[in-house]
Amino acid sequence: MNYKEQYRYWCEDDYFDDATKKELLAIKDDDAQIQDRFYKDLEFGTGGLRGVIGAGTNRMNIYTVRRATQGLANYITKMNAKDKGVAIAYDSRYMSPQFADEAALCLNANGIKAYVFESLRPTPELSFALRTLGCTAGIVVTASHNPPEYNGYKVYWEDGAQITSPRDTDIIGEVLAVTDYNDVLTMAKEEAIAKHLYNVIGKEIDDKYMAELKKQIIHPEIIEAVADSIKIVYTPFHGTGNVPVRRILSELGFKHVYVVPEQELPDPKFTTLEYPNPEDPKAFTLALKLAKEKDADIVLATDPDADRLGIYAKDAATGEYIPFTGNMSGMLIAEYILRERKAAGTLPANAALIKTIVTTNLADAITKAYDVKLIEVLTGFKYIGEQIKLFEQNHDYEYVFGLEESYGCLAGTHARDKDAVVAVMCLCEVAAWCKHNGITVWDQMQKIYRQFGFYMEGIHTITLKGIDGAQQIKDMMDKLRANPPKEFDGLKVEKFRDYTKNTITDLATGEVTPAGLPNSNVLYFDIENDSWCCARPSGTEPKIKFYMGIKGRDMEDAKAKLESFKAAVVKELEG
Amino acid in the structure at residue 322: I
Q: What is the pLDDT of residue 575?
A: 61
Alpha-carbon distance 572 to 264, whole Å? 44
**Residue (of 165, 163, 115, 153) closest to 135 by Cα position:** 115
DSSP E strands: which ranges in 341-450?
351-356, 373-377, 398-404, 408-411
Q: What is the CATH number of domain 40-201?
A: 3.40.120.10
Task: Enumerate the domain spans of the chain.
Answer: 1-32, 40-201, 208-452, 454-574
What Å distances lie between residue 12 and 16, 59, 545, CA to CA?
8, 18, 41
DSSP H helical segments within 215-296, as ranges? 220-226, 242-252, 285-294
**Residue (of 419, 377, 395) closest to 160 by Cα position:** 419
What Å distances lie between residue 381 and 80, 165, 279, 359, 536, CA to CA?
27, 14, 17, 12, 15
pTM of the entire structure?
A: 0.95
The H or E element that residue 527 is part of is: strand 523-527
User: Is residue 531 annotated as part of the catalytic site, yes or no?
Assistant: no
Alpha-carbon distance 575 to 573, whole Å? 6
**Under 8 Å between Cβ of 491 and 529:** yes
Q: What is the pLDDT of residue 541?
A: 73
**Residue (of 275, 240, 243) closest to 145 by Cα position:** 275
Q: In sequence order, what are the beta bridge partners of 52?
A: 150
Ranges of residues in the chain whose predicted pLDDT is under 70: 540, 573-575
Q: Please confirm whether the linkage preceding 124 is cis (ω < 30° from 0).
A: no
Among candidate residues 92, 96, 127, 144, the one labeled active-site is: 144
Same CATH fold assignment for domains 208-452 and 454-574: no
Q: What is the pLDDT of residue 540?
A: 66
Secondary structure letter of residue 60 according to DSSP:
B
Alpha-carbon distance 80 to 84, whole Å? 10
Alpha-carbon distance 52 to 50, whole Å? 7
What Å distances lie between residue 413 and 73, 340, 386, 392, 401, CA to CA?
27, 19, 11, 10, 9
DSSP 453-476: -EEEEEEEEEE--HHHHHHHHHHH
Amino acid in the structure at residue 507: L
User: 208-452 belongs to which homologous superfamily?
Assistant: Alpha-D-Glucose-1,6-Bisphosphate, subunit A, domain 3 (3.40.120.10)
Q: What is the pLDDT of residue 574?
A: 66
User: Phi and psi (nearest 5°) for 200?
Assistant: -100, 135
Alpha-carbon distance 474 to 439, whole Å? 49
Alpha-carbon distance 519 to 505, whole Å? 16
Report the CATH architecture of 454-574.
2-Layer Sandwich (3.30)
Q: What is the pLDDT of residue 151?
A: 97
